[in-house]
Structure 1
């Protein structure tokens, strides 16, 4: 099956069922097929507010209707993930540790030692962070930046990113394929996971700030 093929179901759905962002996603897949999946996932990696929990299950839905090859959809999504992650890696590498330390030193309640400890932690646990980070909303995109700042071995970074992305993409595309017209169930559950991640981040930041404020007052 060619990489670029018409998606009759998607074309019909975009005008009769889907609207807004979902309709836009369907229209891209309609126009570009698997290449559209790769493009959308690459954009999702560069701009985390774009939800993969919509893009990937919709790719599975179109595959379940015979409008797209399931295996090629997974390959296209994973290719897009790696391209987006590589761009953020190079962004982190260009920003660099010295600039990060200089920027952190200007922030209230942040010490340069905090930056150094975080970078040291990533240097020791970066492999696990990159792989498992690809399986968590928000972190799956942002984890590429500290990898670039730390100048993680590029082939290793790309290999871990590919492996983690393949699991995430296969799970969501496969779920959309299995659920068919009920693909939005995936969006609901992944959305709940995203809320849990956001809540955990907010609590961690609040804990850090309270601890640092208490330490400053005790000085």
Structure 2
């Protein structure tokens, strides 16, 4: 994937940065931890403008975050809960889980949106509870924009500062994102196994 990301950015420049950051939010396995440091490296080589790559990357990331927020808001918590009642077993999600997330977001709200934009793997997902909670669009936009610009700028500065050695840090950072996703999958598998065991015991005792 590293080579593909570099090819896209070499061909499309700042526009490619925005395109990949949009995809990163829609399809999280594309890591911003590789995209933005490479963009910063291109700045150090005089191939791009720092302002251009940060603006483009931030706009792409912001658009992806808004897509998740808008989708969650349109679906709504009640419609999701009804769907989970019928099909949530395979996702190991129950109506109680949705209520817990809703209460958690109700407590943290804006702080969660802002801070999670700086956490690999959670940057995309935080838009979902924000949408279900019907967080005001303007408030969501402001905190998302601040967190997004901070994240893209930080990674671009790292790539710019490291120059040709940007891969020394971009690689480990991409593993953080992959590790968070892997942890989420592991938790899902654990919950699925536990759920099936509980059902088996219930059937046996019944």
Q: TM-score, normalising length from structure 1?
A: 0.78
Q: Which has the higher contact order (CA 8 A, sep 6+)?
A: 2
1:169-188 aligned at under 5 Å gives the runs: 169-188=152-171
> Partners of 1:118 and 1:129 in 2: how far apart?
12
Task: Report the equivalent of 1:104.
Answer: 84
The answer as to 2:131 corresponding to 1:136 is: no
The answer as to 2:61 corresponding to 1:72 is: no
The answer as to 2:100 corresponding to 1:120 is: no
- Cα distance per residue 1:41-81 (max 9 Å; x no partner): 11111110111121111101110001111122111111111
The answer as to 2:17 corresponding to 1:43 is: no
Give the Å deviation of 1:153: 0.8
Q: 1:40–1:199: structure 2 CA closer, same or farther, 3 Å change rule?
A: closer
Unaligned stretches of 5+ residues in structure 1: 1-20
The answer as to 2:70 corresponding to 1:90 is: yes
Task: Report the equivalent of 1:55.
Answer: 35
Task: Report the equivalent of 2:137.
Answer: 154
> Partners of 2:178 and 2:5 in 1: how far apart?
23
Unaligned stretches of 5+ residues in structure 2: none
Q: 1:212–1:134: structure 2 CA closer, same or farther, 3 Å change rule?
A: farther
Task: Report the equivalent of 2:149.
Answer: 166
- Runs of 4+ with deviation above 6 angstroms: 211-214
> Partners of 2:192 and 2:104 in 1: how far apart?
16
Q: 1:213–1:129: structure 2 CA closer, same or farther, 3 Å change rule?
A: farther
The answer on whether the counterparts of 1:172 and 1:186 sit within 8 Å (CA) in structure 2 is no
- CA RMSD, aligned part only? 2.7
The answer as to 2:61 corresponding to 1:81 is: yes
> Partners of 1:110 and 1:37 in 2: how far apart?
35
Q: 1:145–1:110: structure 2 CA closer, same or farther, 3 Å change rule?
A: closer
- Which SS does the other structure have where 2:59 is aligned? helix
The answer on whether the counterparts of 2:101 and 2:129 sit within 8 Å (CA) in structure 1 is no
> Partners of 2:136 and 2:196 in 1: how far apart?
33
Give the Å deviation of 1:177: 0.7
Give the Å deviation of 1:213: 6.8
